[in-house]
Structure 1
C-alpha cells in the first residue's frame, strides 16, 4: 500500500471514530496488510483490494468473547 493511501486511511478513521489515537503501520512484506492501532493496541489489519480499476480497503476487527466480559 502506498504511503499516501495509508495517510488518507488514517485520517479517515480518525475522523470517523472521533479520535487521534488511531495509527496505521505498514505490515511486514511488500503486499502485507497495514496494521491499525488504538494507542499501542493492535485492533486489526486493513487489506487493499483492486478489481477492474476499483480500489477498496477492508478493515477486519476481531472481538473476543472474553474481551466483552
Structure 2
C-alpha cells in the first residue's frame, strides 16, 4: 500500500476505535495489504481490493484470548 493510504487508514482506525495507539504499518514485500497494531501488539491485516478500491480488515481472535 502507498504511504498516503496507510496514513488514511491509520487515521480511520484511530477515529473509529477511539484508540490513539492504533498504527497501520506497511508489510515487507507485500503491496496489497498492511499490518494493524495496537501499541506493539499485532492485531490483524487490512487488505485492499484492487477491483473495487475497498479495504477489508481481518483480525483473528484466539480461543485462549477469550
The bucket for the TM-score relative to the shorter chain is over 0.9
TM-score, with normalisation over the residues of structure 2?
Answer: 0.92
Max Rg structure: 1
SS of aligned partner of 1:31? strand
Runs (5+) with no aligned partner, structure 2:
none
2-structure distance, mates of 1:9, 1:36: 9
Structure 1 ranges of 4+ moved more than 3 A = none
Q: Which residue in the other structure is 1:28 paired with? A: 28
RMSD of the TM alignment (CA)? 1.1
* C-alpha distance after superposition, 1:14-39 (max 9, x if no partner): 00000100011110114252100001
Count of residues in Structure 1 that have an aligned counterpart in Structure 2: 66
TM-score, length-scaled by structure 1? 0.88
The corresponding residue for 1:49 is 49
